[in-house]
Copies of this chain bind each other. A is one copy, B any other.
Amino acid sequence: MVSGDNDSNCRLVRMKTQISAPHDGSYDNEALSCSTIDISAHTTGEPHGGLRGSNEFILSDSGKKVANDDQTGQLNLWLQRKAKSAFSEKMIKKRLPILRWLPQYNSTDAIGDLVAGITVGLTVIPQALAYAGIAGVPAAYGLYGSFLGCIVYIVFGSCKDVPMGPTAIASLLTFQTAGGNVGKAILLCFLSGVVELMMGILGLGFLVDFVSGPVSSGFTSAVSLIIVTSQVKDVLGITAKGTTFIEIWRNIFNDIHNVQVWDTFLGLTCIAVLLIMRIIAGLKVGPADDELKSKNHRIINKMMWLIGTSRNAILVVVCGAIGYTFQSSAVAPFKLIGDIPPGLPSFKPPPFSLTANETLSGHEESFTEMVSSLGSGLIVVPLIALMENIAICKAFSNGKPVDATQELIAIGLANIANSFVQGFPGTGSLSRSAVNNASGVRTPMSNIYTMALVVLSLLFFTPYFSYIPKASLAAVIIAAVVFMVEVKVVKPMWRTKKSDLIPGLGTFIACLALPLEMGILFGVGLNVVFILYHAARPKISVERLTSPGGAEYLIITPDRCLIFPSVDYVRNLVTKQSIRQSLPVVIDCSHVYGADFTAATVIDSITQDFARRDQPLFFYNLKPSVCAIFEGLSPADFVVYYREEHLDDLLKQRAYKPKEVISA
């Protein structure tokens, strides 16, 4: 409503009113006790102070309006401000989180980080070897992706608990995207890093918000089932190939007659041992109350925890010894992971093209061919990596806000770095972060000890790694990921919102039946359909009330904003109800916090319909910002009031008589 609009038909009846409660959901803000009808315009200014978040409905730029008279000057000013803020101390500390904690680094921090770093290191080495198997690349590449990114994360990472490196989910996605081709896996690592970095710079971290809890649970559960499936063949000692769940199981059954007794025996034993050790890690001896425990109790508890936590490393060492013992025997009873080249990988750029030897097809592949074969993986791998990483940050943040932008930059740069030492895509690992946190990590510096262990093992221990039986690595993976199947989430989901089981279950099934990236996109799409349906079908209550003055009227209350998918539905309902009951109609807009052009046109039609029927129509408690949108079309007979008692005056003004009386 523009000032000076009084000559138009548009009337805004605004009453000053006493505040009955500071937060009663209405939009009055004047503390005067009595009401006057005020037909002039004062819709500007939001009475509800301090609104934050998205402006108005979507894109208005209040508070940042640039005057038209001096745009170039303003632009320069804006650029200067932008540049200044980009290089302010606060911004630099935000983008280089190391500057926040390194100056205060003390000996307590150092000890905490040392213990945590070494514990994580003992976990990451067997995991890296095993996850390389999931990614379909030789075991050494798992270790290659576990050290350089750690250092990058120390500088750029904002979350102390993140141990950067290969993870089960990222490895499986790498396998499904790169198809086990080492060159493509390394290029994928580089390009994922670039995409993550770009997403961070463009502030696209909010995209993970669209992966809801149920979709994430469904995805994780499906991934762990697929990973278990992919490892079953190593436990059984057979060679069943395939990428999707069904395909692998079919191949396992086809190859079932080749099952190797010794591999199977070792694998199952290892799984049992790992599960038992996992329980040991959580056991406590002595009295329940911590303060009553004797020193011995505490030492035993600590030892049990340490042994339990290092179970992967212990198991792999023991099995490696067994493998070494049997290697001289004529018929090796176990399949071993085989030779691992000693020493650090050479530092060189990722492969931007493949020679004929390096491809499955035997043809050369150019950069564009490689990229197009990676396809949607270039989007899905970064997004899932971010999702995993954010999940860790949130789990251990104690409620502190998580900076998704900074994490994107950190894992992006870490992956780019890893691709120069032939790593495949990695991110923060949830299982290792739990170890990290439980070991008392204090800062991201713990990563440096992890890195040191990996480098040492590459330099000195690779000859021994080659004796590790494949079945024992498969057991390490199975015993880890089987707990990622989130069956326990079904019950609370059922208790809170049963309909959320649909996207959860849908994602789970889609991820098992389709390639993973299609599965998660399906789940997110399904969830988005829910949001859209929600936007399209607001809940509308219709009540027949009597005004203080004794006039009957119909009050229609939509419960959310009026935007294009819903307005026709609202119009149909308002029309139906108001034709059925020939009463004055009040549309209570207390909950209408936004509207758009389509809504304005429909409100215009509704007011015309009512005027044609000579049926009074009033809008109650319409937010000024929404009112301004509706008035943009200057609807013919648009009356808003803000104080309930005033309805009778409005009806009197309209000289309203019920239809029945007129027709009689």
Contact = CB atoms under 8 A, between A and B. Distances in A.
A559 B596 CA distance: 17
Interface stretch (A8-16, A86-94, A166-174, A493-501): A493-501
Given A399-B609, A593-B591, A605-B399, A540 B24 contact: no
A53 B538 contact: yes
A492 B534 contact: no
Contact of A52 (B60, B542, B590, B608): B542
Given A209-B566, A566-B209, A608-B399, A539 B51 contact: yes
Contacts of A52: 539-542, 573
Contacts of A621: 25
A66 to B, nearest CB: 14
A207 to B, nearest CB: 10
A272 to B, nearest CB: 33
A541 B591 contact: no
Given A58-B534, A213-B601, A564-B212, A540 B53 contact: yes
Given A495-B632, A606-B399, A500 B597 contact: yes
A560 to B, nearest CB: 6
A260 interface: no
Pick from A53, A492, A494, A528 the residue with the most CB of B within 10 Å.
Answer: A53
A606 B597 CA distance: 37
Contacts of A591: 25, 591, 593
A594 interface: yes
A113 B530 CA distance: 45
Contact of A536 (B209, B527, B530, B564): B209
A502 B239 CA distance: 55
A569 interface: yes
Contacts of A497: 57, 595-597, 600, 629, 632
A58 B560 CA distance: 14
Contact of A53 (B539, B600, B606): B539
A41 to B, nearest CB: 14
Contacts of A206: 536, 565, 569
A208 to B, nearest CB: 8
A255 interface: no
A361 interface: no
A644 interface: yes
A73 interface: no
Nearest to A591: B591
A536 to B, nearest CB: 6
A644 B19 CA distance: 13
Given A538-B53, A600-B497, A399 B593 contact: no
Contact of A555 (B23, B528, B532, B565): B23
A50 interface: yes
B535 A53 contact: no
A8 to B, nearest CB: 12
A559 B532 CA distance: 18
Contacts of A48: 541
A198 to B, nearest CB: 19
B532 A569 contact: no
B528 A532 contact: yes
A533 B590 contact: no
Contact of A593 (B20, B51, B495, B559): B559
Contacts of A401: 571-572, 575-576
Given A535-B531, A590-B23, A50 B541 contact: yes
Pick from A532, A534, A560 the residue with the most CB of B within 10 Å.
Answer: A534
A406 to B, nearest CB: 13
Interface in A341-397: 394
A54 B25 CA distance: 23
Contacts of A107: none
A502 B59 contact: yes
B564 A534 contact: no
A306 interface: no
A26 interface: yes
Contacts of A575: 399-401
A584 to B, nearest CB: 14
A537 interface: yes
Pick from A210, A400, A500, A606 the residue with the most CB of B within 10 Å.
Answer: A500
Nearest to A504: B597
Given A213-B598, A612-B398, A496 B25 contact: no
A138 B500 CA distance: 53
A580 to B, nearest CB: 11
B565 A209 contact: yes
Interface in A577-611: 579, 588, 590-591, 593-598, 600-601, 605-606, 608-609
A22 B54 contact: no
A55 B537 CA distance: 9
Contact of A54 (B498, B534, B563, B596): B534
24 contacts: A23-B545, A23-B644, A24-B24, A25-B591, A52-B542, A53-B538, A54-B537, A55-B539, A60-B498, A206-B569, A209-B569, A210-B532, A210-B565, A212-B564, A212-B598, A394-B605, A401-B571, A492-B601, A496-B600, A531-B563, A534-B561, A535-B535, A560-B560, A560-B561
Interface of A: 20-26, 48-60, 206, 209-214, 394, 398-402, 492-500, 502, 527-528, 530-543, 545, 555, 557, 559-561, 563-566, 568-569, 571-573, 575-576, 579, 588, 590-591, 593-598, 600-601, 605-606, 608-609, 612-613, 620-621, 629-630, 632-633, 644
Given A209-B566, A211-B564, 17 more contacts: A23-B543, A25-B590, A50-B543, A51-B540, A55-B539, A57-B497, A59-B499, A210-B536, A212-B597, A394-B568, A399-B609, A495-B632, A495-B633, A496-B600, A497-B597, A500-B597, A527-B564
Instruction: Pick the 7 closest A-B CB pairs, nearest first.
Output: A399-B609, A496-B632, A25-B25, A212-B564, A54-B537, A59-B499, A495-B632
